[in-house]
Amino acid sequence: EDQVTQSPEALRLQEGESSSLNCSYTVSGLRGLFWYRQDPGKGPEFLFTLYSAGEEKEKERLKATLTKKESFLHITAPKPEDSATYLCAVQQKRGGKLIFGQGTELSVKP
């Protein structure tokens, strides 16, 4: 069964304390892996798409990487405004369905 597991469920960091969020997946044919950011009371907002193992994408303090089994979202020197829930989703090659993980709730304290 195709599934996506994110860890940890919640992460508390001090401002400037770098860390990584993990997204492990099993899918019968990966078309793409997506990272989204979701702020409280808002809809998810697209961050990155990764297509193949070894690929990396960067945006400000965020860097996403992809292997054949997992993806990492690295946060370098986070700021309080980076606090949000980060969602990972994989798209099946066959049919194109998106399967979401349950998210990692990140809190960055000043």
**Sheet-wide strand order for 3-7:** 3-7, 19-26, 70-75, 62-66, 56-59
Work out how close the CB of 95 gets to another protein at its nearest, in angstroms, rounded to a whole number: 6
Q: Does 65 bind another protein (CB under 8 A)?
A: no
Work out how close the CB of 44 gets to another protein at its nearest, in angstroms, rounded to a whole number: 5
| Residue whose CB is less far from another protein, 2 or 81 | 2
CA-to-CA dists, residue 59 to 49, 78, 82, 103, 104, angstroms: 12, 12, 12, 19, 18
- Summarize as ranges the residues that interact with another protein (CB under 8 A): 31-32, 34, 41-46, 49, 51, 87, 89, 91, 95-98, 100-103
